[in-house]
Amino acid sequence: MPNGILGRKVGITQRFGEDGEVIPLTVVQAGPCVVVQRKTKERDGYDAIQVGLVEPARRVRVTKPLEGHFKKAEVAPVRLLREFRLEPEEDVKVGESIKVSIFAPAELVDVSGVSKGKGFAGVVKRHHFRGGRATHGSMFHRAPGSIGASSYPSRVLPGMRAAGHMGQRRVTVKNLQVVEVSEEENLLLIRGAVPGANGSYLEIFKSGRKSRAKQAAPAGQEAQEKKPAKPAKADEK
């Protein structure tokens, strides 16, 4: 079974739990996806599948090489293609459909996407610099300050934090909980925030960790698992 799916971010909403807690939710249109290519360790050096996101309302124009690629797989052209790793023993064939039903409620997932672009930002917004005093004519308010020593090493060291382009980079948020799976509408309701603007593409992977609900032991189980204390030895005379 594939460990992930492609989708689009629809928006955010909220839901109230049984105890009145507000649960923030992100709605994701996940799939359906189609397997376009199967890669094997013998031919490609690793086991994986190339997956395309099926978008019925979008007309896709592709180049001739990609047109031949889709024609070989006997699938309709798609705009978004991504790869998902597979175990060697997994049998997934070209043309198979991947749907949101591969996920289950309370399961943990990792979501990858491109974050919102913020444009050119200064050090206060981009790196959370404190800045200088706002009063008494210091003339130092939101400037970056010194960027390196003068005599030695007489250069700016790599990795120095400075003003520049902020956002619009690949971000992965891990261990988000699936609250609801709607197979009829291909929707995933995920607890928390995911990267990207509404309408942006996402990659949803199965997390390697168990859900919080499964990790929590039932009441009394922890006490049963504890070994009884060993009897104290008698003092030797």
In a domain, 110, yes or no: yes
Contacting residues for 61 by C-beta, under 8 A, at least 6 apart: none
What tens digit of pLDDT does each residue of 33-89 get?
999 999 988 898 999 999 999 987 777 888 999 989 999 988 888 999 999 988 878
Taking the C-alpha atoms of residue 61 and residue 56, their distance in angstroms, rounded to an integer, is 13
Taking the C-alpha atoms of residue 196 and residue 27, their distance in angstroms, rounded to an integer, is 12
Of the pLDDT bands very low, low, confident and very high (cuts 50, 70, 90), residue 235 is low
**In the numeric block, which tokens belong to residue 121?**
């930002």
Average pLDDT estimate for 141-146: 90
> What does the DSSP 8-state code read for residue 141?
S
| Same domain as 90, residue 72 | yes
Taking the C-alpha atoms of residue 48 and residue 54, their distance in angstroms, rounded to an integer, is 19
| Same domain as 70, residue 120 | no
| Same domain as 69, residue 37 | yes
> Among candidates 49, 45, 52, 54, which has minimal Cα distance to 37?
49
Residue 190: per-residue pLDDT: 94
Residue 140 has pLDDT above 60, yes or no: yes
* Interstrand relation of 33-39 and 97-98 (parallel, antiparallel or unpaired): antiparallel
In a domain, 68, yes or no: yes
| Amino acid identity at 124 | V
| Same domain as 44, residue 81 | yes
| Same domain as 63, residue 168 | no
| Same domain as 117, residue 68 | no
The owner of tokens 């261990």 is 175
**In the numeric block, which tokens belong to residue 61?**
């124009």
Residue 87: per-residue pLDDT: 85
Taking CA atoms, 189 is separated from 30, 38, 182, 214, in Å, by: 10, 29, 8, 19
Residue 139: per-residue pLDDT: 87
> Among candidates 78, 81, 75, 71, which has minimal Cα distance to 57?
78
Torsion angle, CA of 95/100/103/107, rounded to 10 degrees? 140
Residue 219: per-residue pLDDT: 47
Residue 209 has pLDDT above 90, yes or no: no
| Same domain as 27, residue 121 | yes
Please state, for a pLDDT cut of 90, what percent of the chain lies above it: 51
Q: What is the DSSP string of 105-118?
A: TT-EEEEEEEPPEE
Average pLDDT estimate for 202-226: 63
| Same domain as 110, residue 57 | no
What tens digit of pLDDT does each residue of 151-174 get?
888 899 999 999 999 999 999 999
Residue 221: per-residue pLDDT: 52
Query: Could you tell me which residue, 4 or 228, shows the higher pLDDT?
Result: 4
Taking the C-alpha atoms of residue 175 and residue 157, their distance in angstroms, rounded to an integer, is 35
Range of the domain at 170: 23-31+101-125+164-216
> What does the DSSP 8-state code read for residue 215?
H
| Same domain as 110, residue 202 | yes
- Total domain count for the chain? 2
In a domain, 237, yes or no: no
Average pLDDT estimate for 198-218: 74
| Same domain as 94, residue 74 | yes
Of the pLDDT bands very low, low, confident and very high (cuts 50, 70, 90), residue 223 is very low
| Same domain as 191, residue 117 | yes
Residue 237 has pLDDT above 50, yes or no: no
What tens digit of pLDDT does each residue of 81-138 get?
999 988 878 888 888 899 998 999 999 999 999 999 999 999 999 999 998 888 888 8
In a domain, 5, yes or no: no
Of the pLDDT bands very low, low, confident and very high (cuts 50, 70, 90), residue 14 is very high
In a domain, 52, yes or no: yes
